[in-house]
Structure formats: structure tokens, C-alpha cells
Amino acid sequence: MEKLNKGQVTWTELRKQYGSHVASAIAKIRKLNANLIPRCSKVDAQDRADLLRIDQKRKHALTEVAANYIKIYKQNCGGMKTKSAA
């Protein structure tokens, strides 16, 4: 079974050990997995790209908020001078 899980068993070996119905079912599962893996990889890549775009927007928004805060702070408090210690 370990070799089966790793995909190291041929259809002929499966048929001899388990019968043609089981071997055919396993072959179908392998075919479906082979088709599904590239699709999942594409979705994963698209999700990573979407997350990157969201993170960039978040960072841009934070930078914009910080810049506005500094601008307002300088307008309101920039003219005030603190007393220097003698």
C-alpha cells in the first residue's frame, strides 16, 4: 500500500493484486488528481497575487493616513515652540 500511495505501482500490478475494478478506479483517481493539481496550483497562484494586491493597498492606505496625520500635526502644532532648559 505504501508504494500505491506514492504512485509507484503500475496498473498491471494493481490489477494482479486487487482485480481490474479496483485497478481501474485507482487509475481514474490518479487521472483526476493529475488534472486537479495544475488547477489548484493556478488558483493558489491567483490567491497569492490577490493577497499581495490587498496587502499593497493596505500599506498604501496606512502610508497615506500617516502622511495626512503628520501634515495636520505640523499645521496645528508646528508653530508652537517648546521652552528650552536653561
Amino acid at 59: K
User: What is the residue range of 6's domain?
Assistant: 2-73
76 pLDDT above the threshold of 80 = yes
Whether residue 83 is contained in a domain is answered as no
What is the model's pLDDT at position 25?
Answer: 86
Whether residue 80 is contained in a domain is answered as no
pLDDT in tens, 4-47: 666 667 777 877 888 888 888 888 888 888 888 888 888 999 99
Whether residue 18 is contained in a domain is answered as yes
Whether residue 27 is contained in a domain is answered as yes
How confident is residue 66, by pLDDT bands cut at 50, 70 and 90? very high
What is the model's pLDDT at position 86?
Answer: 47
Whether residue 24 is contained in a domain is answered as yes
62 pLDDT above the threshold of 90 = yes
Task: Map 40-59 to HEC letters.
Answer: HHHHHHHHHHHHHHHHHHHH
Whether residue 82 is contained in a domain is answered as no
> How far is the CA of 26 from the CAs of 20, 22, 23, 29, in angstroms?
10, 6, 5, 5
Whether residue 20 is contained in a domain is answered as yes
Domains identified in the chain, total number? 1
